[in-house]
Amino acid sequence: MQHLSIRLQTGERGLRGIFVGGPWADLIEMIGLAGADFVVLDGEHGSVWTELPHLLRAARSVALPALVRVLPRRPDMIGQVLDFGAEGVLVPGIRTVEEAENALASSRYAPDGVRGLAFSARSAGYGYRGGPDYLNTANRNVTVLLQVETREAVKSLPDILRLTGLNGIFVGPTDLSLSYGEQSRQTAKVLNIIEQIRQAAEMAGIPWGLFTGTPDNHREWYDRGSWYCATGVPNLLRPALTAWLERGHTR
Ligand code: 3PY
Ligand code: MG
């Protein structure tokens, strides 16, 4: 399985991800077999926690890189999900450079960070793949995407983009719109802010991407050079359910 961090380092763009909010191992396998580039197991707004280790196994079985979205301002959760075998983390709700630094440091072992080490963890093959080889590659292979979805993060963006170890930023248009007093992620104001974020990331040479609700929306950002976009299972299912329920059922 090629690590997401390596694909991004080589400058690959247009990666496609799916957020999965429930404990559905079969669905994760389907998403991998369908050819998605990564999956985000949503521990912020979803109910994945009880099954997380099994969901990560399902992703691994179809060579699908899995990021876990942890809770905001809970850097202690980061090492835990990485120990379970997550490929990386998506960190929501970042507001300040310090919060961004904490998230990055929690994702990497010393000397790059402060992640706690246990070779007995699944990430180190329960000790079978531990030792220097593991330590030398773990920091490089992990993917840490920080969400830019608050007004404060937009203000701190130039400093956040300079942080060592940042694999990319991920815009959360929904929270961003709320943070700017808007009630839709499609307003001119919100789109303008996302465009400013895009330009700042491009100038800094940092991968950027965002949550896209519809295929058209996805295509638009893909054409603008997004490194990755992701949507959620409900966004995929709603139109399919409506179409199936309505087609051929006119009473
Ligand atoms: C948002 O739009 O706020 C998100 O976090 C999408 O993942
Ligand atoms: Mg959000």
Ligand 1, atom 6, residue with closest C-alpha: 172
* Distance between CA atoms of residues 129 and 120, nearest Å: 9
C-alpha angle 226/229/232, rounded to 5°? 165
**pLDDT at site 250:** 60
- Ligand 1 touching residue 96 (CB < 6 A): no
The phi and psi torsions of 16 (rounded to 5 degrees) equal -120, 125
Which residue's structure tokens are 């699944």? 122
The whole-number average pLDDT for the span 154-182 is 98
Tell which residue, 6, 7, 44, 3, has the closest CA to residue 147: 44
Q: Is 67 helix (H, G, I), strand (E, B) or coil?
A: strand
Mutating to test ligand 1, I would choose from 68, 211, 229 the residue with most ligand atoms within 8 A of its C-beta, which is 211
Sequence-distant (≥ 6) Cβ neighbours of residue 110 within 8 angstroms: none
Q: What is the DSSP letter of 173?
A: H
pLDDT score for 9? 96
- In the chain, % of residues over pLDDT 70: 98
What does the pLDDT read at residue 251? 57
Q: Under 8 Å CB-to-CB from 247, ≥6 apart: which residues?
A: none
Amino acid, res. 35: G
CA distances from 44 to 25, 30, 71, 244 (A): 18, 22, 5, 30
Of the residues 38, 69, 171, 174, which should be mutated to test ligand 1's pocket, given the most ligand atoms within 8 Å of the CB? 174
Specify the number of domains making up the chain.
1
Question: Cβ neighbours of residue 25 under 8 Å, at least 6 residues apart?
Answer: 51, 54, 55, 57, 58
Domain with 221 in it: what CATH number? Answer: 3.20.20.60
Residue 248 has pLDDT above 80, yes or no: no
Residue range 127-145: mean pLDDT, rounded = 95
Question: Considering the chain, what is the average pLDDT of its residues?
Answer: 96
Residues less than 5 Å from ion ligand 2, measured at CB: 149, 172, 175
Q: What is the pLDDT, as a whole number, of residue 89?
A: 98
pLDDT digits (tens, 9 = 90+) for 71-118: 999 999 999 999 999 999 999 999 999 999 999 999 999 999 999 999
| 228 Cβ inside 6 Å of ligand 1 | no
232 lines ligand 1 (CB under 6 A): no
Give residues with Cβ within 8 angstroms of 36, minimum separation 6: 16, 17, 18, 64
- 45 a catalytic residue: yes
Give pLDDT, residue 1.
Answer: 82
Question: Which residue among 3, 45, 218, 249 is the active-site one?
Answer: 45
On the question of pLDDT at 241 being above 90, the answer is yes
**Which 3 state secondary structure label does DSSP give 171?**
strand
Domain range for 194: 4-247
Query: Measured in whole angstroms, how far is the alpha carbon of residue 72 from the centre of its chain?
Result: 13
Q: List pLDDT tens digits, range 199-228.
A: 999 999 999 999 999 989 999 999 999 999
* pLDDT in the model for residue 147: 98
Using the mean position of ligand 2's atoms as its centre, give its distance from the Cα of residue 150 in Å: 9
Residue 136 confidence class, pLDDT cut points 50, 70, 90: confident
pLDDT band at 247 (very low <50, low <70, confident <90, very high): confident
Residue nearest to atom 1 of ligand 1 (CA): 172
Please determine, for residue 249, whether its predicted confidence score (pLDDT) is greater than 80. no
Structure pTM? 0.97
Return the amino acid letter for 201.
A
